[in-house]
Amino acid sequence: MSEASNLQEPESRALSINEVEGDEGNREIFLSVFVQQGQIGLSYYDSCDYTLHFMPDTVDNSDLHLLDRVIQELSPNVLITSAKQEQSLLDFIEKLELNPEYKPEIVMFPNANFGLEISRQRLLSAQIPSLPPTITESEKIPYFSSCIPLDSVLMRERIKLICSLFCRKDVVYIDRDTYSALQIFKSELHPSVFKLQFGEKEGLSLYAVLNRCRSKLGSLLLRQWFHRPTRDLNILKRRQEVIRFFTSPRNFADLNTLQSSLRNIKNISTLLHKMSLANPKVVVWQSLYKTVYNALCVRDIIRSMPQSIQLFSEISQNFTDDLFCIATYISKVVDFEASVAENRFTVRPNVDPVIDEKKRKMMGLPDFLTDVARAELENLDPRFSTCSIIYIPLIGFLLSLPRLPTMLDKQSFEIEGLNFMFLSKDQLHYRSSRTKELDSMLGDLHCDTLDLEMVVMRKLQASVLQRSDCLYRVMSLCAELDCLIALAQASLDHSYCCPTLTSNHRLALIESRHPLLELCTPVFVSNTYISSETEGKVKVITGPNSSGKSIYLKQVGLIVFMALIGSDVPAKEAEIGLVDGIFSRMHSRESVSVGLSTFMLDLNQMTGSLNHSTGDSLVLVDEFGKGTNTVDGLALLTASLNNWMHRGPQCPYLLMSTSFHSLIQLGLISDSPLLDLLTLETAIEGEELVFLYQVKNGVCQSSCAANIATLAGIPDDLVKRGVEVSELYRTGRIIRKMDSPSSDEQYNRCVEVVEKFLSIDLDELDPDSYLKDEVLPTLEEML
């Protein structure tokens, strides 16, 4: 018998997301950075779920690549650092301030704030909801030591809660431009005016295609995986085994049931934070109950699955009976129906006999008060036809009478034997001897009940918070499960295959596809890419414009990326040797948005690829060198290509597309066993160029620019003239301007010049002035 079925099913009323999940719109991230002797210390505080994350001190290079990645992932609102700082960080901050796209607030604190002792003290004085409030400082030390090595340099100004390690071991390097060129993320403004306040939404991107997560926590974790592709085989294999399980057809039903439970798992960090406040709202209790109930449902299903799968056995072990206790306590204690009606925490009957007794009295009160009111009416001035007895918390019982037309001012409100209290909505309120009796007889029933219910609530809060460790584990395991089910679902929907991850230095993508373009085009032509030291690590691709070169490059980059987050990939088969970075030279950002010229952007990207790629990196270069004079661009491209090839085994997996056909025709590339020349197939049907998008070995002989121009709708006469000029240039003949005189006119001009020449009297001729005034202007005209 499953444990969740012993509990009452939670109400399916939609809860306001912001109330329970934290307000993403007002999310603020404070990143604290400290650089010392090539080591970088980082920690950040996320106001969305009140967590503090930190990264143990790590070596970073002089350009602070690691810091760049962290900033790219988090986009912190505030960057905190010490006023006394190393040059590398100062240079980094200076560059950051030049970026018009993203400007965090930079805050510098005195260096003393970053000392070890002061940081330790700050941590010890922090309020951690999962720890009992009575815990002493010396008791807190072992707790903190289990989360953070306290001998590491810590730098936080405001600390509330320690949560997870922010560890970046084995993270694959991918820069901002590559993320954008490969369309891994793509944020767009929300088209609906009603949703404008929520800012951006995800456009067509790899993240949007793979994100089938049902919980917000899952989506956040998947985003984190996207920012931290890894070459840690253990992590990747752990993810793959779960995906394998859910892509098996006999497990579809479980996949769907798990997804409907995961949908109801809310952000537990936020819930626990709200639980630690004085008076959590009813919606928080509802949400917590729903979360725990659904976590138990997840546990019940997972326990029936093979426990040889690491994630499943972790869920079975870590979703302990604490969850059952929390759910049982909440369902037995909280009266959700009454709580919603009264908009406050209300205790169920049979929890506390004193509360029950008081509530019983309160329930019987209306009838009793009607009798009292009837008796009071008999003693009143006969002008009053009605009266009632009301109860106001903290004030007590009052006699309420309708205001008569003759009662105009305060004096006229006075009635003998009664104390006038106040006037509200044409009702006069009095204290009588009978109401005074009621006060002493029934007391402050309502307030007493509230106080007693508060005491019960505090106990319940404490018992939830005591079990917060288990809840945090539930949160992270559910998020992981949600992400992996999402990846499995995407794999099923788009017929992906499971890549074989190896530490061999080989990439082999058989019949691979572009994961985004295949969704937008009716027929996608799949292509194979095999790269290793013996199978051509350097591929130079030539092909007419629009033949599919860029798509081929991007699809290789995307597939390798997908494998490095543990996902299945769009291919028939794939073998992925773990790469350490993906570098690219592709157009992604507009030059205006970064304040650099297009060519300068190209050069910056190429510099990064040349300086930081290793034998295990994947480098994608699309049309480098086109932004400047052809000869100079070609020279730079050739030099870069030769530089890579001369590195031998340290040459990266290089995929380079170019329309500089002379790179090959003029024999500019050094001979190397690493080199492989590829082209994209096209065919001419009649006059028309047909793109086949099939990659094959070889070199493209013609750019087919004229055919493509015709396809694009350029007027025929312009295309004809283009072909004519191109032919004249290739064969080294003179190219005449379109507006040059016709040959008849030219003949007549020549005759004129010759006649003039014959008529010259050579004895009287001044050669200099003749040359200047007659010959040169005529020559200019003729040419």
Ligand X SMILES: Nc1ncnc2c1ncn2[C@@H]1O[C@H](COP(=O)(O)OP(=O)(O)OP(=O)(O)O)[C@@H](O)[C@H]1O
The only residue of 545, 591, 672, 726 in contact with ligand X, by rule CB under 6 A:
545
At closest approach, how far in Å is the CB of 588 from ligand X? 13
689 binds ligand X (CB under 6 A): no
Task: Please report how close the Cβ of residue 512 comes to ligand X at its closest, in angstroms.
Answer: 10
Q: How many residues bind ligand X (CB under 6 A)?
A: 14
In the bound state, the residue with its beta carbon closest to ligand X is: 548
User: Which one, 325 or 519, has the nearer CB to ligand X?
Assistant: 519
CA angle 75, 587, 188 (to 5 degrees): 45
Kindly state whether residue 702 participates in binding ligand X, applying the rule CB under 6 A: no
Given candidates 524, 610, 615, 719, which one binds ligand X under the rule CB under 6 A? 524
Q: Of 22, 218, 515, 543, which lies in the binding site for ligand X, with binding defined by CB under 6 A?
A: 543
DSSP states of 448-515 as a string? HHHHHHHHHHHHHHHHHHHTHHHHHHHHHHHHHHHHHHHHHHHHHHTT-BPPEEESSSEEEEEEE--T
* For ligand X, the closer CB: 110 or 522: 522
Cα separation of 284 and 16, whole Å?
10
Nearer to ligand X, 267 or 550 (CB): 550
Length of the chain: 783
Spell out, one character per residue from 619 to 658, where the chain touches ligand X: x when CB under 6 A holds, - when not: ----------------------------------------
Residue 781: half-sphere exposure toward Cβ, Cα within 13 Å: 14
Task: Please work out, in degrees rounded to the nearest 5, the angle formed at the alpha carbon of residue 741 by the alpha carbons of 738 and 744.
Answer: 135
Among 427, 546, 598, 746, binds ligand X (CB under 6 A): 546
* Residue 693 lies near ligand X (rule: CB under 6 A): yes
Give me the numbers of helices (H) and strands (E) for the chain, helices first please: 31, 23
149-157, 239-247, 477-485, 545-553 -> range binding ligand X (CB under 6 A): 545-553
Using the rule CB under 6 A, is 682 a contact of ligand X? no
Q: How far is the CB of 718 from ligand X (least distance, A)?
A: 19
Q: How far is the CB of 537 from ligand X (least distance, A)?
A: 21
* CA distance linking residue 551 with residue 553, whole number of Å: 5
16 binds ligand X (CB under 6 A): no
Would you say 160 or 549 has its CB closer to ligand X? 549
Based on the shown chain and the rule CB under 6 A, indicate whether residue 710 belongs to the binding site for ligand X. no
Instruction: Work out how close the CB of 182 gets to ligand X at its nearest, in angstroms, rounded to a whole number.
Output: 13
By CB under 6 A, what part of segment 549-588 binds ligand X?
A: 549-551
Which residue has tokens 């009813």? 282
d(CA 610, CA 641): 10
Answer whether 40's CB lies under 8 Å from 58's CB: yes
**Least distance in angstroms from the C-beta of 498 to ligand X:** 22
Given 22, 76, 499, 548, the residue binding ligand X (CB under 6 A): 548
Do 46 and 160 form a contact (C-beta atoms < 8 A)?
Answer: no
In 3D space, the residue among 474, 486, 497 whose CA is nearest the CA of residue 302 turns out to be: 474
Nearest distance in Å: CB 633, ligand X: 14
How many Å apart are CA 515 and CA 603, to the nearest integer?
28
Beta strands 105-109; 675-685: pairing state: unpaired
- Whether the CB-CB separation of 611 and 639 falls below 8 Å is answered with no
Work out whether 703 is an interface residue with ligand X (CB under 6 A).
Answer: no
- Give me the sign of the Cα torsion angle 593, 594, 596, 600: negative
Non-local (6+) Cβ contacts of 134 within 8 A are none
Quote the least distance from Cβ 624 to ligand X, whole Å. Answer: 12
Q: How far is the CB of 712 from ligand X (least distance, A)?
A: 10
**Between 390 and 517, whose beta carbon lies closer to ligand X?**
517
Sheet holding 527-532, edge to edge: 500-502, 573-577, 506-512, 527-532
Helix, strand, or coil here: 326?
A: helix
Does 528 engage in binding with ligand X (CB under 6 A)?
A: no
| Least distance from ligand X to the Cβ atom of residue 252, Å | 30
Crossing angle between the packed helical segments 268-275 and 282-303, to the nearest 10 degrees: 140
**Quick one: which of 20, 442, 525, 579 contacts ligand X (CB under 6 A)?**
525
Could you say whether residue 599 binds ligand X (CB under 6 A)?
no
**Interacting residue with ligand X among 119, 449, 512, 547 (CB under 6 A):** 547
Residue 670 binds ligand X, judged by CB under 6 A: no
Q: Under the rule (CB under 6 A), what is the footprint of ligand X?
A: 517, 521, 524-525, 543, 545-551, 659, 693
